[in-house]
Amino acid sequence: MTTVLHWLDGSRGQGTSWGVPWPRGAHHPGTPFSLGEVPVQSWVTATWPDGSIKWSGHAIGPQDEPAETYALAPGEPALPEHPVTVDGLTVRSGPVTWRLSRDTLIESITYGSREIVRDVRLVSVKDEETVATVERVTVEQDGPVRAVVRVEGRHGDWLPFSVRLYFYAGARDVRIVHTFVWDGDPERDFLRGLGLKADVVMRDELHDRHIRLAGPSGFLTESVRGLTGLRRDPGQAVRQAQLTGRPAGEIPNPEVAGRLHLIPAWNDYTLDQNSADGFLLRKRTTRGRGWVTIPAGTRSQGYGYVGGVSGGLGFGLRDFWKLHPTRLDIRNAATELATAAVWLHSPSAPPLDVRFWHDGMGQDTHAEQLEGLEITYEDHEPGFGDAHGIARTHELSLRVFEGTPRELPLELAPSLLVCTPERYHEAGVFGSWAPRGDDPAEERLDFLFDFYRDQQEQRRWYGFWDYGDVMHAYDADRHTWRYDVGGYAWDNSELSPDLWLWYQFLRTGRESVFRFAEAMTRHTGEVDVYHLGRWKGLGSRHNVQHWGCSCKQLRISSAIYRRFFYYLTTDERTGDLMDELSEDAVAVLDPLRKYRDIEEPRIGLGTDWGALAAMWLTRWERHGDTEARDRLLGTMADIAGIGFLVGEAALKDGRLHQTTDEISVSHLSAVFGLPEVCAELIDLELGVPGFEQAWLDYCRLYLTAGFETVSLIQAHSRLAAYYAHRTGDRELADVAWRAFEVGDGDRLNTNPLQAEADWKRTRVDGANVLMPVDEAPYISTNDAAQYSLAAIQLLALIPRRP
């Protein structure tokens, strides 16, 4: 079976890794894969229950002339001319040798026989600057096309970190994925800086040393000792050589050559991106002297270079301005050893402050907290707005050059090879969806994504902790999202916008959708989830601060929100996030503790079991974990006997035990990934009698049985659609489309009364708004995500009849 691959948004000449799904039974582990003459490395990332390959990972090195498409098929792979190799702590890739360190990060980088870089280290600033310590180095892949080395340690006496270094055959760059976990005391620990530093060997004459710092679309192009703009002209050839990074050579004008020592040498440079809208550039001749301001700009792309005609270092941070406050530094460029620094949190900015945002306002009892929930929708509880255990991931790049480059990269997002929507669909992965068609609902789906993409820009949903999330609900009176109103602010995966975006990418192949979903996965998997401490494995419900809500549940940390990105990209950090989940987390905290007092822990058969099922399924297919398989199949069998309609059960020793005969139907049970994971499980044909029928009963009855607690009608239209699809019931198909299009109580529908009025944006400007914005007050993220998931699944399961 041959799979045609194409670039998501063009190749940038890097090494790259990606994932490909395969229909059940198509290939088995051990099958080699070929990309024709292009050397490729392949591995298995998931298997079907019969042991055949479900997802495979692949990697290629940088291509001098990348093709527009590639054909991946079974066959012996070509081998790279210069494979990447790992020998102890030494990694070799073409002419570049990277010597890793058990003390810091990278001891040295050489190009051929010439040392370019020394002592690449992670640094943090609390009271003073400290260098991170390495505790463990693990080689996860060792070539021949891709090598991956994992480094773990701590930033000083706090902040555990994990770094992965990605090397590709023939590449002169290393991609660095850095994650840290916040484990400080919010009342006394304030992070004043977090970054990576590298020392660069400087051998050249001062006027043959070059500085490059990125703006929005180009670079500040300077030399440590400038030869342009002088009173005496060194000659056009000399000036042109310096600007293009070539050796200036002998300076023909003696009036310049004899006075070089009187031309200032600029030793230090700083680019400070303290907001999404502006950066400051400064330079100085030496420490203790005043800074000179360089014309500032808007959004730096976060890349720099320091070195000379005999070699240097390119360094950068992906999403630099989006993750502000960030900073690039060059220090000591006029000495024998310059230092380049990429700051993930700028020391120029106010310290990172994660203290809870209000004092509790006297909400010391559950009764008072429930009253607060009624007015601001915030589920507050003293001590629960704690950031201890949240994390953040950044992606950096280091690249060595044998001389000052003519061109430098501005875009640091990894290039990615992808399949067509039709090919993803053919593999039968991720349940109920289909490639984009021509139904009128497609325009609505495009409208909603484009609106949120533009809102991110207009509302500046950027920043160290915030980038990747969206807001929950809108305040039409103030013409703003409810960023300061309790539980209406940051969304934190509420009602599954993550799923909406990933399914929309699969069915359209749009690069902009992928990048939006990627940023959301990076955010919601790290910042909204606890990775250590008392709530490890749980996520926080929506709040003014991402960690602020006292509702900590698996519905936010669910693996179902991470699987797409992991399988499409093979991103190991996302694999870590899914591996660290545990069923033990559901016993830590009863999400309904403010409403009841029970002796034995119970789990919801919607939000909780759906997340557990996604976790167990992912562990089984990724690692062959038989315990996870048995937990999954056992609880499916238990649900076959209990049914979904009772709402909850006790989880003991990996099995569900019925605790009540009463029907309890929650509108939230099926809006956090339960329909999606049930569809996958049923498609797998796992041989669990009665499970499909239990799910079909719930799908049929939710909209038709007259339950008093029913709401989110439009969202649940996809349950009726699933029943109609599996049984052929046309009456339920009509119920599904009617619920989707009319849906009493749901705003986002297409009935004639609201279609023309609602599906538009309105421009708002003037004195009552901070900046001109577009608004659509009828849109909330709950409705947008569930409208989209319902539309996607109805179009796939029960397309409209002509």
Q: Note whether 453 and 512 are within 8 A (CB).
A: yes
In our burial notation (b when 16+ CB lie closer than 10 A, e otherwise), range 24-45 reads bebbeeeeebbbeebbbbbebb
Mean pLDDT by groups of 10 residues along the chain of 802 residues: 95 94 97 98 98 98 94 98 97 96 95 97 96 97 98 95 98 97 95 98 98 97 97 97 96 97 98 98 97 96 98 98 98 98 98 97 96 97 97 98 93 95 98 96 95 98 98 97 98 98 98 98 98 97 98 97 98 98 92 87 95 98 98 98 96 94 95 98 98 98 92 95 98 95 70 61 95 94 96 97 68
pLDDT of residue 745: 63
What single DSSP character describes residue 182?
-
Helix (H) or strand (E) holding 422: helix 421-426
The per-residue pLDDT for range 491-525, each reduced to its tens digit, is 999 999 999 999 999 999 999 999 999 999 999 99
Strands, DSSP E only, in 11-128?
A: 16-21, 33-34, 41-47, 53-60, 69-74, 85-87, 90-93, 96-100, 106-111, 114-125
First to last CA, the chain: 34
Residues 207, 208, 209: CA angle, nearest 5 degrees? 90
Helix (H) or strand (E) holding 573: helix 572-579
pLDDT of residue 753: 46
Q: How far apart are CA 546 and CA 556, in angstroms?
A: 11
Query: Which residues contact residue 358 at a Cβ distance below 8 angstroms, ignoring those fewer than 6 apart?
Result: none
Cα within 13 Å of Cα(80), Cβ side: 23
pLDDT of residue 742: 80
pLDDT of residue 597: 85
Q: How many CB atoms are closer than 10 A to CB 443?
A: 12
The per-residue pLDDT for range 345-376, each reduced to its tens digit, is 999 999 999 999 999 999 999 999 999 999 99
In our burial notation (b when 16+ CB lie closer than 10 A, e otherwise), range 66-105 reads beeebebeeeebeebebbbbbeeeebbbbebbbbbbeebb
Total residues belonging to the chain = 802
Q: How far apart are CA 670 and CA 605, in angstroms?
A: 9
What tokens does 460 get?
């500046």
The domains of the chain are located at 3-74, 85-225+264-353+386-401, 441-797
Q: Note whether 492 and 540 are within 8 A (CB).
A: yes
Which residues lie across from 43 on neighbouring strands?
Answer: 57
Strand bridging mode 129-131 / 133-142? unpaired
What single DSSP character describes residue 710?
-
Instruction: Assign domain 441-797 to its CATH architecture.
Output: Alpha/alpha barrel (1.50)
pLDDT of residue 640: 98
The per-residue pLDDT for range 24-63, each reduced to its tens digit, is 999 999 999 999 999 999 999 999 999 999 999 999 999 9
DSSP string computed for 317-354? ETTTTTT-SEEEEEE-TTSSEEEEEEEEE-TTSPPB--
What's this model's pTM, rounded to 2 decimal places? 0.97
Q: How far apart are CA 89 and CA 493, in angstroms?
A: 40
Q: How far apart are CA 656 and CA 44, in angstroms?
A: 32
The one-letter amino acid code at 133 reads T
Cα within 13 Å of Cα(653), Cβ side: 1
Query: How far is C-alpha 83 from the chain's CA centre?
Result: 29
The one-letter amino acid code at 640 reads A
* Third-level CATH fold of 85-225+264-353+386-401: Beta-galactosidase; Chain A, domain 5 (2.70.98)
What tokens does 454 get?
């533009």
pLDDT of residue 28: 97
What tokens does 664 get?
């309890």
